[in-house]
Structures are given as structure tokens and as C-alpha cells.
A and B are shown apart, each in its own frame.
Chain A
Amino acid sequence: MRAWVLGEFEGSEALLAATRLLRAEGLRALDTHTPYPVRGLEEALGLPRSGVSTVAFVGGVVGVLTAYLTMVYFNVVEYPLNLANKPPHSPPVFIPVTFEIMVLFSSLAIVTSLVVYFWAFPRLHHPLFEHDAFRSASSHGWWLSVNSEMPDMVMRARERLDALGAKNVTVIHEFTAAPGGHA
């Protein structure tokens, strides 16, 4: 049975300090919930560099190939026509569409991978939303969460958060296993 221990801090600095401390103490499955990104939190949480850039690159390459080959297929292979005495395969005129499709594919890859893979969205319900005070996380609250399946770890996290001065410390249990999901 998974559980989350939640606690709200006074500000981003307090949150950052608490995160660093708890991580140093060996607590894993830490996460923060902030209304806007806080500089330094990635290092504090020990997050790796996001893989979105790789996805974007692959999307772009696929876009370039798709666009160029499609154009060549339609205008050169399948039905070459004499238009204004220009050669069917005229690379310069294929540049604009190739570029556009590269951007399109890359952008779609970024957003799709973000939503589906990196964020594992849509996840319209999450146990954290059970906690009413947690609604401040999107506007002005600075929350820290510890996720664990081990009851003693949950207890420990709860004590540490209390000790660090967090408000609204709560434990939320997940009764049904939700598929996937990181934090």
C-alpha cells in the first residue's frame, strides 16, 4: 500500500533547504510541488536532464525525411509532370515544406512525449488531490512529498517534516493501485 507524506513549507527557500536535507538523509522518492519552477530544485531532487531534447531531435529528423520523401514520391516518382519546364525533382522548392514538417513533427514529438511519457498524463485523479490544502500547490503553496510503500519510512518522513517546520503534514494512502505514475 503506497502512501504519500505531504508537508507545506513557508517559501521556496525553506522548501529547497528541506529537500536538500531530506535527500541527504537518504530519503528517496522525494518530490516537490510548487506553483512555479524553483531554481535549484532539480539538483536538490537529483533529477537527471530531461530526455525531451532527444525526442525533439528524432521527431525533427523523421519530419525531414517524411516531408522530402513524400514530395519526391508525389512529384517525381508517381506522377512526374512538366510544369513550366522545371525538373520534377527541384530540391530548392522542396525546402520550405521540409522545414515546416520538421518543425511540426518535432513539436508534436515534444508535446506528445511530455504528456504521454514524461508526465504520464492525463491523470485527472491523483491521491494527492485528496488533500484539500494541497490545492495551494498550484498557486502559492510550497509542498514536499515523500512517497513510500514502507510504513516505517512513512512514519519517519512524517516526523522529519514536522521537525522541519512544515505545515499541514498529512499522510495519504493509496487504496487502489494506480497504473504507472512516478511521483
Chain B
Amino acid sequence: MSAASKENALITGAQTDTSLNQSLLGFVWSKPTRGYKQTLLLLSGGVGALLLSLFLLLWQGVGVWGNNHPVGWGFDIINFVWWIGIGHAGTLISAILLLFQQKWRTSINRAAEAMTLFAVVCALMYPTFHTGRPWFDWWMLPYPSTLGVGPQFKSPLLWDVFAIATYGTVSLLFWYVGLIPDLAALRDGSKSKAARLAYGVFALGWRGSGRHWSHWKLGYLLLAGLSTPLVLSVHTIVSFDFAVSHIPGWHSAIFPPYFVAGAVFSGFAMVVSLMIPARKFMKLEHVITLTHLENMNKVILLTGLIVSYGYAMEHFTAWYSGSEYEWTTFFETRTKGPYAPLYWAMWFCNLIVPQVFWVKKWRRSLPVMFTVAILVNIGMWLERFVIIVISLHRDFLPSSWAMYYPTPADLAMFLGSIAFFLTAFMLFCKFLPAVAVAEVKEQNHAEHVKGPA
């Protein structure tokens, strides 16, 4: 192996099936550390805040949030879009990179997919509760109602319902199908009877049979093939929530591609920011290498540029349209309005910051990429704030212009959802293989052809 290829190796060290087995599943068998427990305890406080804010919401109504007239959507939809964007990375990595046969997907896809699922759950929380009366949400489903009236399929919100539900379901299936062989490994490696039973149930009886694998490979590939347009469609449809309306700042044809790019951008940033600590604490540096992280940083750079192009295009369209309302939204309200600092912070985080990744050294530097990833996450949150709140708070009639401020309940729910997300991720790492063991072994095998133990 040449030096260059060694540096870019996706699995470092001389690994065997056994060693990979030990290192990749080791975290599941190890006793939880004190730090792990303390972190969980801390996060459970956040989850408590989430539950408290939801209780308050259900008890009193949406008024506990900062939403008002004219800003009907605030933190609820900002966070929904933010989370659903984050939830794009996993399936994208799993599906699209699989289709493109990118080898570097294998070490990170499992954790990324889990992230996707948790992010989708976090995202779903917002539209579910944002009506304040979630017990009526089922009216959006096409059931045979005695009233004869059903859901209204022209509404992008309804498209959302189906898109998110499908995305969540398909992501779960995709993740689970990929997990079955590893669950079997956990079943077979477990010492206690309870663990063996628990993993056994979820492994469904996997025996690694040639027939199993034959169906598995095709089924997995087909799911990947379906997930790829799905993942693109989901954020496209989320963007329709805005693009189909006619509020200046929302009504824009560039939204679908730019939202998808933004979703990948923020999703990858979230994967990077989670992977950096996770690979350290779970001792996975040999399979989640700097090369993986560097590749993701390249994607962040690329999608960051696409997103910035989207911003530029919006402004160009506003200027070119000659519409007074568009002009005001983009060149007055955003740039000089009361929320202008957030707007400029968005440009900084999403355009300026990722440019450091042109430099290879920084692309491979953990502190740099962690900082960038966090800033990108903040920047993408700000983007949603800019799109939703800034567009709504000043639209057509200046008489109705007003400010929006979040309330403690808003913040509790937002921070609580982050805590929930991290809790779920930590529990996932503890109970399930955070890396697709079978696939890594397969890849390891392919790279070291003569390497049987």
C-alpha cells in the first residue's frame, strides 16, 4: 500500500473479522462509564423540560409560545424544518452513497441513519403539537368520515404529512433491514440469556444463510433506490410549505433544490459534530477515520456553496422580479430590519465558515471541523428563522407588521428536543452497533483480500 492510500484508508490498522467484532461491538458489552451515566442524567433534565413544555402547551394552548399575528409560525416550524433537514443526512448517506458505491459510507451509515430517525421523531413532534390540539390531527388522514369531508390534498401541509410519515417509515425499515445481521451478531455474542433473547427477537432468526443474503442484498438495494428520490422529495415537499404560498421570501421556485442542499448541509454537519465525540468515546477511530470525516467535510463545502447560491438566487429573483414586496423583503427587511443581525449571522455561518474546508489541513483537523459543523448547524437554524419569521413579520400591509419573540416554553421545547435527540443517540450507541459491522467486515475483507483470520 502506498503512503497516500494509507493516509486515505477507510479502515486503519490490520483488522480481522474478530478484531472488528470486538472493537465494533465492544461498546455494547462494556459497562457504562460514569461519564456516560452523568451525561444521560444531565440530558434527562432536558427531556423533562421538553415534557413540561408540552404539558403547558396542551393545558393552555399555543399561546404559551411566542407565535402571534402575523407570525403564525415561529419556533415550531423553524425547529421542524431544522430537524427534518438534519434527518436527511442518514438516509442520504445510506442510500445515495450506496447507489454510487461510495465505500466510505459503510462506517458512518448506521449512526447517521439512527440520527435520521431520531431527528425525524424530533421534527414530527413540532407539527404534531403546533396546533395546540394534537387530538384533532387525525383529521388530516383520509378516513371514511361521516361528515363526508376529508383532508384537502391541495394543501402542502398535507403533502408534508405523507412525506414525513413515509420518510420516517422507510428510513426505519431501511435502517432495520440493515441492522438485522448485526442484531444476529449481538444475539450470538451476548453473554446473558436476557440479552440473547432481546436481540434474538429483533434478529428475527437471522442465520446468515446464503439465501438470506441473496434476498437481503437485493431488498436493501431496492430500498436504497426508493430512498434516494424519497430523501430528495421530502425536503422538496417541506419547501413547498413555503414555495406554494405567496408570502415574499417564501414564494420562490428555487426552494426545492436549495432546501435539499441545505438539508444535506445541515445533516452532514450534524453527523460530523456527533461523530467526532462518538468515535472517540466508543474507540472507533480505526473505522471512522479522518478520511471519512474529510469526505463529509467536502460534502459540507459543496452543499454550503449550493445553499449560498440559493440565497444569492433568491435575492437576484427579488431584484429581477421588480416586485416591490419581494424587493423590500430581501433588500430592506432582511438586510436592515430588526432581525438583520440574525440574517448576517446566517451568511457568516453558511457561506463564510465552510470555506475553511478548501484547506486540506483544516479539513482533517478535528477542532476545526467540529467548530465548523456546530456553526453550520447554527447557521442552518438561522436560515429557517430568516425564511419563516423574517418573511412573515413584514409582508404586504405595513399595518400588520409586528415582531416575534420566543417564550421560555419555546426555548424549553427546542432545547428539550435537542436533549431528547442526544439521549436517544446515546442509548442507541449503548444498545445497538453504532457501525454497520457486517458491512465493515465485508469491506475490510475486500480490501485485505488475503486476510482471513
Contact = CB atoms under 8 A, between A and B. Distances in A.
A and B touch in the complex (CB under 8 A): yes
B389 interface: no
A183 interface: yes
A129 B453 CA distance: 23
Nearest to B158: A97
B322 to A, nearest CB: 25
B176 to A, nearest CB: 8
A121 B205 contact: yes
Contact of B209 (A31, A101, A107): A31
B229 interface: yes
A165 B153 CA distance: 65
A124 interface: yes
Contacts of B174: 107
Contacts of B150: 73-75, 78-79
A164 interface: no
A183 B181 CA distance: 17
A102 to B, nearest CB: 9
A97 B153 contact: yes
A50 B226 contact: no
A148 interface: no
B230 A182 contact: no
A78 B209 CA distance: 51
Nearest to A132: B188
Contacts, number: 207
Interface of B: 16-18, 21, 142, 148-154, 156, 158-159, 162-163, 165-166, 169-170, 173-174, 176-177, 181, 184-185, 187-189, 200-201, 204-219, 222-223, 226-227, 229-230, 233, 236-237, 240, 437-439, 441-442, 445, 452-453
27 contacts: A35-B185, A35-B208, A36-B181, A37-B213, A47-B210, A50-B219, A52-B219, A53-B218, A74-B142, A75-B152, A78-B148, A84-B154, A93-B153, A96-B156, A97-B159, A100-B230, A101-B166, A103-B170, A107-B169, A111-B173, A111-B176, A118-B215, A121-B206, A123-B205, A124-B201, A124-B204, A137-B188
A96 B213 contact: no
B204 A122 contact: yes
Contacts of A106: 222, 226
A96 B236 CA distance: 9
Interface of B is mostly: helix
A24 interface: no
A105 B448 CA distance: 40
B210 A34 contact: yes
Interface residues of A, number: 69
CB-CB nearest 3 A-B residue pairs: A11-B452, A74-B150, A123-B205
Contact of A83 (B152, B226, B230, B438): B152
A46 B17 CA distance: 26
B163 A100 contact: yes
Given A31-B210, A52-B219, A124 B200 contact: yes
A115 B189 CA distance: 23
B452 A10 contact: yes
A139 B207 contact: no
A100 B21 contact: no
B223 A107 contact: yes
Contact of B226 (A56, A121, A182): A56
Contact of B154 (A32, A83, A140): A83
B233 A126 contact: no
A100 B176 CA distance: 20
Nearest to A48: B214
Nearest to A14: B452
B218 A35 contact: no
Contacts of A99: 229, 233
Contacts of B214: 42, 47, 50
A13 interface: yes
A124 B437 CA distance: 21
Contacts of A94: 153
Nearest to A120: B205
A167 B177 CA distance: 31
